[in-house]
Amino acid sequence: MSNCHRIKSLLSAYIDREMTGEEAYQIREHISQCASCELEFEELRRVKHLLSTLPAVEPSEHLLDQVKANVFTDEPKPAISRKGIVVTTSMAAAMLFLTFALMQWIQVKQGGTNGLVPADEMVATDVRTVGDRASGAPVYMPVNLASAPE
Amino acid sequence: MIVSWIKSFSKPAEERKPLFEKLMSDSYRQAYQMAYRFTSNRVDAEDLLQETYVRAYRFFHRYDETMPFTSWLYRIMTNIHIDSVRKNSRLRTVSIDQGNPETGSTWEIADDSNQADHNMVSNSLDEPFQLALKAMTPEFRMAVILADIDGMSYEEIADVMDTSVGTVRSRIHRGRKQMKEYLQASFPDSLPEVTN
Ligand SMILES: [Zn+2]
């Protein structure tokens, strides 16, 4: 009955009619004589049926406008996501710029370079999870990262 | 193919913007369905959709117009989704190894989002199926969703997932088996007879 193993591995393609007529004929013949393969076929067919009849999910009313705003502006607005803020690549760049500006401010205030924190160190300490910037994947940052000095 | 690539590449930005805007308006509902089924919750689906269109627009000059726009879009979406799943599973591994709930783990964001996903899924009507999808191997899940929810052919899915038809065939089969086994174990009444 090692044939059953081969037949079972082809059942999904059979359900999707993604095979040659010859293969489909073999499977049809086998199923009509083998209870185990017939049961597997019925169950897989049910899975496909359930998925293809799932109700459509309605996007929120303003989603398209929000997406458009993000796509067509150079500085996309961050989307609030769970505990952290999801920042896009250009937003992350803006954050780095702010960090740099803050460093300059500290430098001016302390009247020297003693208080200067290297940008790399600052990012490494403050950013919890840094995404892949080159790919533009979301970068997670703690909410209080940009909290302003007094 | 090359001609259309050159054609779309040579289009000036002011011409490409309205074209992209129209393609976006025409495709976003369908794309949202995909994003929702991939991610299992609205918040992540919106993030994924957002990210997909941002990247699609950035690389719109590379879009080959002989390919349906949604196929090209899904290719971008599947890549982003796979990246993010891998990243999250890496974070969860770190969190199990190093995380300390007493002291407040540095990696708690990943874990919390996992719990949040579960909560949001639980609120929806098609909970068993969405949880089953969520439990699947990401590559299997995406192949099954593209085939059964979007109704794509194996060849189209191979194009989207940048793989062979044979691999698609195997992913879909293994994905449906995972789903069947999950439903039989967790929701025994959720696989009713198909009448037709
Ligand atoms: Zn058999």
The residues whose Cβ lies within 5 A of ligand 1, an ion, are A 4, 34, 37
Provide the token pair at A39.
Answer: 């049961």
The verdict on residue B100 lying in a domain is: no
CA of B25 to the centre of ligand 1 (A): 48
The answer to whether A95 and A145 are in contact (CB under 8 A) is yes
Overall number of domains in chain B: 2
Do B149 and A16 make contact, defined as CB atoms within 8 angstroms? no
Mean pLDDT on A49-58: 91
For the question of an ipTM over 0.95, the answer is no
CA distance B75 to chain A (A): 14
Q: Which residue has the higher pLDDT, A126 or B83?
A: B83
> Which is higher by pLDDT, B19 or A106?
B19
Count of alpha carbons within 13 angstroms of residue A81, beta-carbon side? 25
* Interface probe with A: pick from B25, B32, B174, most Cβ of A within 10 Å: B32
> Domain with B61 in it: what CATH number?
1.10.1740.10
Structural domain including B77 reads 1-91
Segment A61-96, tens digit of pLDDT: 899 999 999 999 854 445 544 444 444 555 666 666
pLDDT category of residue B166 using cuts at 50, 70 and 90: very high
* Predicted confidence (pLDDT) at residue B172 exceeds the cutoff of 60: yes
Among candidates A11, A45, A57 on the partner chain, residue whose Cβ is nearest the Cβ of B194: A45
Residues B77 and B34 reside in one and the same domain: yes
State the angle between helix axes of B13-39 and B69-98 in degrees (0 to 180), rounded to the nearest 10: 50
B132 belongs to a structural domain? yes
Residue with tokens 């579960």, as numbered in its chain: B118
Q: Is A71 on the interface with B (CB under 8 A)?
A: yes
Listed residues B73, B91, B109: the one ending a domain: B91
Q: Say whether both B180 and B141 belong to one domain.
A: yes
Residue A40's pLDDT band, with cuts at 50, 70 and 90, is very high
Query: Where along chain A do its domains lie?
Result: 2-52, 95-146
Looking at the fold, whether B128 and B175 belong to one and the same domain comes out as: yes
Domain boundary among B52, B76, B91: B91
Provide the percentage of residues in chain A whose pLDDT is more than 70: 47
Q: pLDDT (tens digit, 9 = 90+) per residue, B56-97?
A: 999 999 998 888 999 999 999 999 999 988 888 776 665 544
pLDDT mean over B42-49? 94
Residue B136 covered by a domain = yes
Residues B5, B85: one domain?
yes
The CA distance from A85 to A98, in Å, is 16
pLDDT score at B38: 93
Task: Test B112 with A82 for CB contact under 8 angstroms.
Answer: yes
Mean pLDDT score of chain B: 81
Inter-residue contact B165 to B154 (CB < 8 Å): yes
**Residue among B161, B23, B143, B146 at smallest CA distance from B79:** B161
Asked if residue A8 has pLDDT above 90, the reply is yes
Instruction: Tell whether B185 is covered by a domain.
Output: yes
Does residue B129 sit in the same domain as residue B67? no
Note the pTM of the prediction, 2 decimals.
0.67
Examine the domain organization and report whether B151 and B72 are in the same domain: no
Regarding whether B75 and B12 lie in a shared domain, the answer is yes
Which CATH number goes with the domain that contains B167?
1.10.10.10
Calculate helix-pair angle for B108-122, B42-58, nearest 10 degrees.
Answer: 110
Judged by a CB distance cut-off of 8 A, whether residue B111 touches chain A is: no
pLDDT at A14: 97
Judge if B2 and B81 occupy the same domain.
yes
Residue of A nearest to B46 (CA): A63
Q: Same domain for B84 and B148?
A: no
At B119 the pLDDT is: 47
On average, the pLDDT of chain A sits at 70
Taking only residues 50 to 69 of chain A, the set having a beta carbon closer than 8 angstroms to any beta carbon of chain B reads 50-52, 54-57, 59-60, 63-64, 66-68
Chain B within 8 Å of A117 (Cβ-Cβ)?
no
Helix (H, G, I), strand (E, B) or coil at A130: coil
